[in-house]
Chain A
């Protein structure tokens, strides 16, 4: 991109001026992560704005971060725990679903918000240049505040049910990172596609529902046959949710292979999503 001495006719008489050439991009474009890093101040300010605006414009504000997973927990406990009598391996059913609902809510709100980020910020895209990646990333990051609030409630529940932290808890940040990577990967795909196909807006709520019932949120992964678990882990949220449960509620060795499979899929989603996003970026200002 930067080519010094690009124009001999003007640079010949004096010290060379660094010349930037903006040319049509060909083939696969670079991710330009360095640029995103240079705009980190904007990224964090946007994240902060996202959180603040949401908490200010709603009556219940920050309470929403807790209400949502808590009510889902009640429903899942009644329907899947009491009525359908699904197994929970000795763990209290509310605790088992809530432990999964906390990372799940983070993931789901991340993909919902980031899928809308470009279309919602159309005015910005048309007027100023900044790395477009900043928008979906800040949307996913802002979910971390909600996550923290819901997690505080989770700690309270762990104490209430008499679960005390084990060494396993050290791995918890890793599973949170896995949720973040998955959320961002899917969010990048959806946000870029949403610019071209506005159908995405209507597909996302459906996708979130579909994904939730095919992940072990409302039930334990133990109902999936043992020899299918690795295949099941191709859904990266399986790795996240079993990881959270293992780190907080279980003892013994981790479901290592499943988590490894989930990690690989999540990374593949993120990398492909980022390249797809960058490739489509040129058309954002034209189309939105």
Chain B
């Protein structure tokens, strides 16, 4: 058990959280879509937690939940103490017609700093962005640099990062990526990092949470989870849900590229050709399930199916 004050103090816990959207289907008809289902985990001070998963697996929704821009349908998000979690957002609220200084203040305020805070740090911001005298000029080419410099001043209890690591021209990008990496790996800051890139996550995070179709598949040490995730990506098996036996109900769909793309759906060990989006969704297909296969891999799959069938 934690001592409540030390490095491993519990900051935030999610208990059986579910969140759904209403998808519009015509004027009055709508359909419920679960972005997250029964998600539970805890976050301690000093953690660097990576979140991986395919498109549509619920990664961004989970970040929104942590940032407080979304509220759960069922379950509870518990903040232990006066915990502030903020999403690292670049150029938030920037407008063209204001000066760099004015934009920096406004952006900082949106990110949760007080006006006084930002004004105090304006020199640091200008220095980091290497802008100096340009702060009173209208926003233009300095946009990207300033955006990063302001966002990086933010020091919340939990920093949430969605993909962005480097911005701006090449030299500045390296600098930005470097300070960001240091921040994530630092013991004194708590970071949740979302990415498609398993490589990036494994190099930066100690613990990884793997999401698929709104559920947690695995939550554990980075190496183990990343290895399992990559295995699953390479195999054609649908990802088994935690506590469920693998069922081939929602078989993946393959797009074969040869001039025009052709779509097939894997059902009962046969490849059904798909001609329209309606047909695709009628069979229970979802955009998140689409995978692109190169020509040779596709032939391989086809022959393996004809052998077994």
Contact = CB atoms under 8 A, between A and B. Distances in A.
Interface of A: 6-7, 9-11, 13-15, 17-25, 41-42, 45-46, 49, 52-53, 56-57, 123-130, 282-283, 285-287
Given A18-B81, A45-B115, A128-B110, A286 B72 contact: no
A23 B93 CA distance: 28
A126 B64 contact: yes
Interface in B85-100: 86-87, 89, 92-93, 95-98
A130 B87 CA distance: 13
Nearest to A23: B76
A6 B69 contact: no
A53 B95 contact: yes
Interface in B70-121: 70-83, 86-87, 89, 92-93, 95-98, 102, 105-106, 109-112, 114-115
Given A45-B109, A125-B69, A127-B92, A20 B78 contact: yes
B10 interface: yes
A7 B96 CA distance: 47
25 contacts: A9-B1, A13-B1, A13-B4, A14-B3, A14-B5, A17-B4, A18-B81, A19-B78, A19-B80, A20-B83, A22-B68, A22-B71, A22-B77, A23-B71, A24-B73, A24-B74, A42-B110, A45-B105, A52-B98, A52-B102, A56-B98, A124-B93, A128-B86, A128-B89, A129-B69
A85 to B, nearest CB: 46
A126 B5 CA distance: 32
B81 A17 contact: yes
B21 interface: yes
A216 B248 CA distance: 69
Interface string B1-43: 1111100001001000000011000000000000000000000
A286 B78 contact: no
Interface in B169-191: none
A162 B202 CA distance: 79
Nearest to B89: A127
B67 interface: yes
Contacts of B22: 283, 286
Contacts of A11: 4
B4 A42 contact: no
A10 B87 contact: no
A288 to B, nearest CB: 11
A24 B111 CA distance: 24
Query: Which 4 A-B pairs rank lowest in CB-CB distance, beginning with the nearest?
Result: A14-B4, A129-B68, A22-B77, A56-B97
B69 to A, nearest CB: 5
Given A125-B69, A126-B64, A21 B78 contact: yes
Nearest to A20: B79
Contacts of A9: 1
Contacts of B102: 49, 52
B78 A7 contact: yes
B140 to A, nearest CB: 14
Give the one of B4, B72, B86, B115 with max A CB within 10 A.
Answer: B4
Contacts of A13: 1, 3-4
Nearest to A3: B78
A286 B71 CA distance: 10
